[in-house]
Amino acid sequence: MAQTVGRRDVLKGAAVTAAGAAAFPAPAIAEGRMKWRLVTCWPKNFPGLGVGAQRIADRITTMSDGKLEVKLYAAGELVPAFEVFDAVREGTAEMGHDSPYYWSSKNKSIPFFASVPGGLTAQEQIAWIMHGGGQELWDELYGEFGLKAFPAGNAGQQFFGWYRDEIKSLQDLQGLKIRMAGLQAEVLNRLGATTVNLPGGEVMAALQSGVIDAAEWGGSWMDLAFGFYKVAKFCYGPNIHEPGTANSLVVNKAAYDALPASLQMIIQEAAVAEMTNMLSEFVVMNGRSLKSLVEDHGVTIGRLPDDIQKKWFTVSEEVVAETAAEGDINRRIYESWKSFRQQARALAPLSELGFMEGRRG
């Protein structure tokens, strides 16, 4: 079960901060050239996420004129995918590229900075973090771990999942082993499934071997690249679980604080640039890949039964609200997010939602 930050975690964070500061002595900075490691949760050169992380590394190196040279390590090259958070925290690497909801076991409110069920669209997620108070709360929460993070990508729309067997009602989810992450996994558990969180590089093998019965990973672009359609014939939407999942660039805070303001700004701007670049790339490539799945591979995208959709949103509200009871910072994150969502809901019928309904005809 996920837990809030305890005394041991805070003390560990402080120790890591002190050790991190010692690892970056003044002469190294004064000489004007540093080499940093960027570890990721993604397979090497993986479409969208892996390539996006490489773009961040390249941007920082180029924008700093080589003063801060960043080398990327794909999942498993330096640390496993699900050890990125701790690797950056402990100073094994200075930076990491991830999706924050992988770290819900560290604190139940971390997923708010990626995606939570019944949450925000990609555009809304970016807006809340950058201009709605989210970044300040994120800084406070991650500061307890000796970390600093910035939004650094968004995969946009996703499929609800790929299933070996047809799903006709809520009853068909009972007992299924399904790959899903974050608070979304808890919702699916309460709907009767058993969830397993696997890094991307392990999902296809788990489907092929029957370790899992279904998998949720991303949108049509990434799912086509993995070839899920070869072993799971039933794909479902809409993406009621993750309408806009953000990625982050997480940085060792001691290392970041030791940098001059100019390099700090370069890191921040490199992350923000990838946030918009990645999302727009996914919009283009998801459209092309959906066409390929349907026309080249004969995939039919089914619509989730109404009883699943209705139950999903009901349970989602319960799961997300429960995070507020974990502690003061958790309560403030939930209240900020909820207030922003209410504002976004009021605007939606007069903006994108209303337009999309009209455009559909």
Task: Name 56's Cβ contacts closer than 8 Å, sequence gap at least 6.
Answer: 38, 70, 97, 152, 249, 270, 271, 274
Cα–Cα distances in Å, from 129 out to 31, 132, 137, 247, 298?
35, 6, 9, 12, 39
Helix (H) or strand (E) holding 248: strand 246-252
Q: How far apart are CA 93 and CA 135, in angstroms?
A: 23
Contact assessment for residue 167 and residue 305, using Cβ atoms and an 8 Å cutoff:
yes
- Residue 232 and residue 312 in one domain: yes
Q: How far apart are CA 332 and CA 337, in angstroms?
A: 8
- Residue 115 and residue 257 in one domain: yes
Domain that holds residue 47: 7-154+245-282
Residue 346 lies in a domain: no
- Residue 118 and residue 265 in one domain: yes
Residue 361 lies in a domain: no
CATH number of the domain to which 177 belongs: 3.40.190.10
Task: Name 190's Cβ contacts closer than 8 Å, sequence gap at least 6.
Answer: 315, 318, 319
Cα–Cα distances in Å, from 185 out to 149, 180, 250, 311?
23, 5, 23, 14
Contact assessment for residue 82 and residue 199, using Cβ atoms and an 8 Å cutoff:
yes
What integer pLDDT is reported at residue 253 of this predicted model? Answer: 99
- Residue 249 and residue 239 in one domain: no
What integer pLDDT is reported at residue 120 of this predicted model? Answer: 96
What integer pLDDT is reported at residue 9 of this predicted model? Answer: 47
- Residue 28 and residue 101 in one domain: yes
- Residue 47 and residue 76 in one domain: yes
- Residue 316 and residue 293 in one domain: yes
Residue 137 lies in a domain: yes
Residue 311 lies in a domain: yes
- Residue 136 and residue 261 in one domain: yes
Number of domains in the chain: 2
CA atoms within 13 A on the CB side of 17: 15
Contact assessment for residue 146 and residue 17, using Cβ atoms and an 8 Å cutoff:
yes
What integer pLDDT is reported at residue 360 of this predicted model? Answer: 81
- Residue 137 and residue 23 in one domain: yes
Residue 355 lies in a domain: no
What integer pLDDT is reported at residue 31 of this predicted model? Answer: 63
Which pair of tokens denotes residue 16? Answer: 């890591």
- Residue 219 and residue 258 in one domain: no
CATH number of the domain to which 128 belongs: 3.40.190.170
- Residue 124 and residue 170 in one domain: no
- Residue 187 and residue 46 in one domain: no
What integer pLDDT is reported at residue 18 of this predicted model? Answer: 44
- For 106-145, write each residue's pLDDT tens digit: 999 999 999 999 999 999 999 999 999 999 999 999 999 9
What integer pLDDT is reported at residue 8 of this predicted model? Answer: 39
What integer pLDDT is reported at residue 19 of this predicted model? Answer: 45
Under-50 pLDDT residues of the chain: 1-28, 30
Residue 271 lies in a domain: yes
Task: Name 90's Cβ contacts closer than 8 Å, sequence gap at least 6.
Answer: 16
Residue 303 lies in a domain: yes
CB count in 10 Å sphere of residue 298: 9
Task: Name 125's Cβ contacts closer than 8 Å, sequence gap at least 6.
Answer: 115, 119, 151, 154, 244, 245, 246
Residue 354 lies in a domain: no
